[in-house]
Every structure is written in C-alpha cells, then in structure tokens.
Amino acid sequence: MATTPIFNASCSFPSTRGIDCKNYIGLRSNVSKVSAASSRVATSQRRNLVIRASESGNGHAKKLGMSDAECEAAVAAGNVPEAPPVPPKPAAPVGTPIIQPLNLSRRPRRNRASPVARAAFQETDISPANFVYPLFIHEGEEDTPIGAMPGCYRLGWRHGLVQEVAKARAVGVNSIVLFPKVPEALKNPTGDEAYNDNGLVPRTIRLLKDKYPDLVIYTDVALDPYSSDGHDGIVREDGVIMNDETVHQLCKQAVSQARAGADVVSPSDMMDGRVGAIRAALDAEGFQNVSIMSYTAKYASSFYGPFREALDSNPRFGDKKTYQMNPANYREALIEAREDEAEGADILLVKPGLPYLDIIRLLRDKSPLPIAAYQVSGEYSMIKAGGVLKMIDEEKVMMESLMCLRRAGADIILTYFALQAATCLCGEKR
C-alpha cells in the first residue's frame, strides 16, 4: 500500500542577531551539536504515515452488501464507516514568519485557487468560431512563402488555397478573408481591375463557393492592390487622394464581389461616405443580404509592413495619413463609428488590434453592432520572431494575445494565427 510520509524534521541554526527565533518557523537558538547519524535517526522517528484513499488499490471502498436502511441504522447506532482522516495542514518553509492572519473580509485569490475554479469563473472565452482567416492569393499554381510572415504564403488560387481552407474548416474555422496579389500589368491609376467580374478575387469566390457552399467569405474593398500608385484611392496629380471618385470605384468593386458570391464586403479604404454608397449600390443590384464590415477605425500604423510585402502594395510615394487615422487619436474613432452605423454598416472593425485595445473597448461600449479586431501582420510577425529566437513561448503568447482582443470586446478576430490557434483549441478539448 502506497504511503505519503509527512516530515516534521527541525533544523538547528546558530542564533542570528536581530531575529527572534520564536517568531519564525523552524528557527531555533543554538543547541548542542548532534551528529549527522543521530539527526537522521531522530528525523525518521518523527515521520507520520498518512494513507490516502486515492492511493489504495483502485480508490474504491469494498461494498458490504447492505441496504440503504441497514446503512442508515448502522450509522444511527454509532457504527460510522471509516473515511480518510482530515489532511494535515501543509507546512510552511523554514524561516516563514509567524504572524496573525490579516483581517480580510474578501480574498479574491479564493476564486483562483484551482484549475476548476478558474475555469468556472472565466469571464472571456475564445473558440475557432471567433476567427476570420486572412489568406493571400495569386495567379500562380505554386504556394510562395512570404519572407516577413513565417508560415504564411501567397496561395495558388486553384490548389493551395482550397487545401488551406480545408485545413481551417477541419478545426472549426469557417470564415476567411481574401487578399489578392494582382499582376503589375493589370494595375492602373484608377484600379479598374478591382471590379473585373473575371478577376482573381471573383474567380476565387466562385471556386470556393462551389467547393464549400457554407464557407463565409469576406472580401477586401479598396484600390491599393489594383492601383499602380499603391494607394487605397485614385491619386490626383498633386498627390491628393480623391474621395468621391474613389467611392464610385469601390461601389463597383463591392457589387462585383457580391455577384461572385461574397458574404461580407469589407471596405478598408477609409474614404468618407463609402459605407452608405456601397450599401445603396448593393441594394440596387439585389444584394440586400450581403453584409458590410467597415474598417471603421483603421489607423495609419507602422504595423502593416509585412502585409504590404505580401501583396507588393506599398505606396509608390507618400503615405496614407490623409485618409487613415492618426494613432494618437481616440475620440475620432467615435466619429467614424457613428457615421458607419448611420450609413448601414453591419460590423465595425478596428485595425491594428493589440496596440488599440482601448479603441476596441470604446466601440464595444458605445455601439450595439458586432466589433471586429484585426491582428495585423506586424503583430503576427513579432510573435513569430520572438518564438523563433526563444525569447517567448510562441503558442502561449499567441493565445494570450487573442484572448486579450476578445476581452477588450472583439466578437471576431481577423488573424493569421487562425489555423494554428484553432488547432491548439481543438487539442485542448480532446
């Protein structure tokens, strides 16, 4: 029978000036030295043996064949069955001060004392259903690795993409968003390829819907992948991004995507008034059931670098600060959110994610609409790099970062970790 020894061994320390040995566990004033052999004998004599029920046989007491009435009568007569003894109080380490307990009416640590309690009181959860998987596509047949985004590829739209979607669906991720790398020869200053019904994105949507009819497909509505200038809108000769003319092009792009079978169109351009114009254009063409996820608070961030490498869509000149938001601004997000709500947005998105948790929480508190967060390429690549360098535990940091986005108020998260994170979550459930 297995036993658990409980040690009550004491140690002898020379008296230490300034320390009252009576007030510390295991500390005693100097006594006559005891030989090592005698000390071991004395220690062994002070051992107590505690038998634990869980360690005896299969952990089940032998049944006596008595009825319920006989069991109750036996207990009433004083023949109480044996049970394990009250466990001893765990010993504190030598040197722990002896004190009066603090007079606390509330100790929050009680609700964190065990894995069961922590799981029961967890306020935020996360599942593969919360993920939207961003996927890069190109016209080629081979999958091309993206150097700045380890583990991500430009997927061949007919082969690699279909396989990647199958992997994601197998672990519960059934929402994707498509980002195309458009051939340079098809780019021009007005981004006309964006609304080509037989372009890369519409063809891909039709292929995926034919293969997976219940797959939820989000699309990106913006001109930068199609523009020879690399900007989200049409650029005037003096460098000004033309707002209303760009919106006209975006409406045609959104309708083309909806016609191909897109479930959610996602204007990421940050032009004024584009949500209302796109809603009207979709409705006019009979696509009342196609949703709009607006990039409501998209900041002019430095975290987008790896993404632009993936699509080769860096601006040919200047920056995007005249249409994307200033990272220093907080209240401005409310202005954008109220406009998007009024114009008919179905989902409000914040981009980037982790550095803008305050904005996610702001929109969550102020809007009844679902909130999306985009964990962008720079966030992804930093975690990947830290993991490769063994500076962090990649998997744990990945899951913590996603949980933080959920805790801040995001209903869905666009993340390049979607497949990896969902695989981890499925592993935990098994």
**Catalytic residue set:** 298, 351
- For residue 375, which of 149, 204, 205, 162 has the smallest C-alpha distance? 149
Cα radius of gyration rounded to whole Å, the chain: 32
As a whole number of angstroms, the distance between CA 381 and CA 390 comes to 14
- DSSP-assigned beta bridge partners for residue 6: 48
Residue 302, number of CB atoms within 10 A of its CB: 10
- For residue 199, which of 250, 246, 138, 136 has the smallest C-alpha distance? 138
- For residue 158, count CB atoms less than 10 angstroms from its CB and return exposed for 0-12, middle for 13-18, buried for 19 or more: middle
Residue 398, C-beta contacts closer than 8 angstroms, at least 6 positions apart: 383, 417, 420, 421, 424
E runs forming strands in 131-206? 131-138, 144-145, 153-156, 175-180
SS percent in the chain: helix, strand, coil, step 5:
40, 15, 45
As a whole number of angstroms, the distance between CA 242 and CA 88 comes to 77
Please identify which residue in the block is written with the tokens 């306020």: 123
Report in angstroms the alpha-carbon separations of 340 from 20, 143, 213, 324.
Answer: 69, 37, 29, 15
E runs forming strands in 278-370? 291-298, 347-351
- For residue 176, which of 208, 209, 134 has the smallest C-alpha distance? 134
